[in-house]
Structure 1
């Protein structure tokens, strides 16, 4: 696990100090060593966190004659079998790393064929000096980040945007069009980031840079197509694929642990992995402590569990540091516990397994149509889902006009076209609400509908509305929020976080599961829960999903926290973006408990904290410990 950064620019003659300064900005991703490859055309920089082939895995790695170089961030889990084929084909290896397998694999198969063969999480860059071409690829789901900036003769690409700031040709500007969609989605929702001219290489894509011309091409996508397996066969297939994935994800020359919450996803992974160390986090507010349930499960499985709490003061003081590491504002409250969880785990292990991706692949979110505890309503909704599309849509439109009643939302989302109501798992401000608090020049952006339509167009032939929603989240919420924070906040603490559910072999199984086995009158993510129950204590997998609960409401109703947030909202520079009176009113009503707009306040506050870090303070925040923490009983 590492950090990679590169640039192509013939006009910069002395590239070494530039690439070294850029590498220093991502030292947290690879504190063990660094390396670079430099010629007249390009500079490649690498920071290493040693996981596999501890002695021989330094990068960049070059081919036999030194004409092709690679830098790589990630893990290839089937590299040993591919290596055997490459050795048989005559390639000579200098290391035992998966990185060198990618290098020779590129030479032997080319980019497209190589990407079809590999299994893993990755972002890698290859410079082919024979062709004077740069290639780069990002993994299937976007587990590992890759950004690029292309302006004139300058092309920059790498793991984190903060490294771009040290390039002399990079023009740091705020992308004004990013703010309005962010207020709706809680994360940076456009392809262009909050930094003008900086884009993500999309998940499942690779690029080619030749003669300063950039070409980006898709090589993989999720394709849901229901199979004809029975329910029992489906559960068996899930368990087999997840078990094999966990086995592949445990490959490491350093110790592997797991993150453990009260939910089924991390519990399933932990039960299969059986690591020496598991880790959990909670808050000084007792209602929000995942550690209690995690400790119970660890004890039942005979595993060690380390847990800690995050204090209100710790969260507030270190929030700028968290937003700095994310590169872009992300108001998902779970960013806070995740940062402290990986910071704690770093004391014992270097690699951790986690449960991200299960909700998207196996339909675990309530917004896919699971909004009631009434079994009768669930059974009725299951029947409605089986009706012809036109009949379902007419029922949905009728339900939409009705006065609210218990079960109405569940029934509506079980019958309505996904495009009509679902914009992704996160929703904070509706567009009209955003317009009311934004200054006029920040109201211009792509509409929410335009953003999600790009994904819906690709699945318009689907008859299954749940599959449409899953596809949208796989290409919006998951790579731009869930996986982004998982990568950035683990790497902030020099940790490698692996996600066994997001394996292409697991995805093959998930893509074929009929929705009736996932969301039904029994539960959401039903078939996955049944697979997990094979390894967990009785009924553990049926526990209600909590999803990293964070006491934002309690914080904002606590006077010291509220005053700190209000002090930020009152700054003069805030008027550039927001109607200051309007956002102060939202904050004050939340503090006085006249309204519960915690998510709106938190989303505004997150952006302002991020903006201050990157555009006002222009310095790296430092970790601040809570000196009173030892007095608080965990």
Structure 2
């Protein structure tokens, strides 16, 4: 686990940029405080910050490897974990290759020498890596199937630079000659979706390598990207009476995934909320670590904490449980720091409690497991029930649907049945764009006068929907979320917020072998009997405590609606809006009106306000350079 940056120069003058790369590395020291290093030849530069997890005394990076005849042919930088590295090493040794370390990093470069670009098909894990082949003069870059580990890049006439965090590229911008103007299209997408969708970033010159893609790069040439992971949810059926076999396969693959994800030479803990996902992971992890520590967070306000249920689960599992309670004051004070770590804003209030529980966990462990990805793979979001509730509309003739659509538009907000008419008279492509719904276009125009309707969410989702036309409705929603909400929100906060605390987060549900089983679940075993994740719940019946099996999903709920309307955060929000220098982007008067309407109970604007406030703080740090995120040097625990 680490943070890395690399540069492939256009003119074979890499030494010219070594000082800039060295200056940019400390921007992500939090990703790898254990050691740092650089490497360069005439064409390429690699820089690395290491968080030592496997093969602590060796596996230093940048890692140089080659066959006997060219022992320094390849240089690798790698962020992540390869969970099947033991099996891959055995296979590659059998093929005659030699290893010099005991870690997982070397399996990537040896695998590349053996399989070429197909090496990514063999890797089971989370990863972003770059390999420089000095013989062929080609850079090969890969990112994991689901986008668990981040990778930004920018290209200019002097070369292409890529990094685990965007701020390192921003630090090198003067030497690269990058134009750091903001991308208005990406801003509108952010306001619409609550995150910046891949491959965009808020800076026009900086983009992201997409999840499940590789990049091939040669000096002076353009970046060539190729998608290798194309997730499918084929329409399948389970023979009557064979459901238990499917449930058993789910349980078996989850047991195997957790066992693989426990591989480490340091202490591994687990996050634990009150839901089935994290409880299943923690229960399975306990089988491999009898002294497992679990961690959760919550708030003092009643109804916004899973602390009690998590504690009940911990007691049932038999693990030591540690709780962090977050106050409104702590919450507000941490926001600038969190926005700095994020690189681009994510308008998800649960980022803040996650930051504090990760900070607490890092006092005890170096790695934690978590339940991200279960909803997308197994059909866990309540919205996935929608195709069932809207099925009657599909039988109505087009003229009647059109009339009902017109009726829904004239009904006032809040009228019973309006929402059902709105959604039932739209196609899935029109109505569903993931779990984030903050602004309608009309609401967006109120705060962003320059907003363009052609830049709305459909610009992001249409190409994804095009691929999923042969899938069932629930599968289409899952497929969309894999490419939007999950990689734009869920996995960004999972990586950035935990790495802000030098804590490695592992997600056993997002495993390619787990996906291979999950993709075969028919829709009637995802949303069934009034619940979601039905097949997963059945598979976990003999594993998780009974009180968790059918509990409603909460995650890390945040009392944002109450705080923004009350003394806790209203004044803070008002001050943030008044001090922000974003008049070219937002209508300040309209945003303040929204805040007052929210306080007075006219309308619940909490999600919309949080989206704007998060951007304003981000802008104050990265554009105005007015807000100090107060990033301090840390005393990192050792030998965990």
> Same fold, TM exceeding 0.5?
yes
* CA displacement, residues 276-313 of structure 1 (integer Å, 9 cap, x when unaligned): 10000011323322211111110111111000111111
Aligned counterparts of 1:298 and 1:407: Cα–Cα separation in 2: 42
Bigger mean CA deviation after superposition, 163-172 or 320-329:
163-172
Residue 98 of structure 2, aligned match among 63, 86, 92: 92
**Corresponding position of 1:76:** 82
**Corresponding position of 2:432:** 422
How far did 1:57 drift?
Answer: 1.7
Unaligned runs of 5+ in 2: 633-640
Aligned counterparts of 2:404 and 2:255: Cα–Cα separation in 1: 42
* CA displacement, residues 394-448 of structure 1 (integer Å, 9 cap, x when unaligned): 99778765789988967997997421310111110012211221142x5486222
**Corresponding position of 1:7:** 7
Matched, 1:346 2:354: no
**Corresponding position of 2:636:** none
Bigger mean CA deviation after superposition, 44-53 or 58-67:
58-67
How far did 1:226 drift?
Answer: 3.3
SS in 2 for 1:172: coil
Cα pair 2:198 2:210 within 8 Å, conserved: no
Matched, 1:503 2:507: no
**Corresponding position of 1:143:** 148
SS in 1 for 2:269: strand
Count of matched residue pairs: 610
SS in 2 for 1:182: helix
Spell out the pairing of 1:588-607 with structure 2 (5 A cutoff): 588-607=596-615
Cα pair 2:76 2:129 within 8 Å, conserved: yes
Matched, 1:535 2:547: no
How far did 1:520 drift?
Answer: 2.2
Aligned counterparts of 1:447 and 1:306: Cα–Cα separation in 2: 43
Cα pair 1:192 1:200 within 8 Å, conserved: yes
Spell out the pairing of 1:351-430 with structure 2 (5 A cutoff): 351-369=367-385, 381=388, 417-430=427-440
Matched, 1:153 2:148: no
Residue 235 of structure 2, aligned match among 226, 229, 241: 226
How far did 1:599 drift?
Answer: 0.7
C-alpha distance 395-58 of structure 1, shift in aligned 2 (>3 A): farther
Residue 101 of structure 1, aligned match among 102, 107, 111: 107
C-alpha distance 333-619 of structure 1, shift in aligned 2 (>3 A): closer
C-alpha distance 128-608 of structure 1, shift in aligned 2 (>3 A): same
SS in 1 for 2:324: strand
Aligned counterparts of 1:593 and 1:367: Cα–Cα separation in 2: 26
How far did 1:368 drift?
Answer: 1.6
**Corresponding position of 1:51:** 53
Aligned counterparts of 2:244 and 2:426: Cα–Cα separation in 1: 29
Cα pair 2:132 2:138 within 8 Å, conserved: yes
How far did 1:559 drift?
Answer: 2.7
How far did 1:467 drift?
Answer: 0.9
How far did 1:225 drift?
Answer: 1.2
Matched, 1:571 2:579: yes
Cα pair 1:533 1:540 within 8 Å, conserved: no
* CA displacement, residues 328-357 of structure 1 (integer Å, 9 cap, x when unaligned): 011111111111111110000011000000
**Corresponding position of 2:341:** 325
Aligned counterparts of 1:415 and 1:95: Cα–Cα separation in 2: 60
SS in 1 for 2:15: coil
* CA displacement, residues 71-127 of structure 1 (integer Å, 9 cap, x when unaligned): 111111111111112222222211011110111110111012x11111111000000
Aligned counterparts of 1:277 and 1:472: Cα–Cα separation in 2: 34
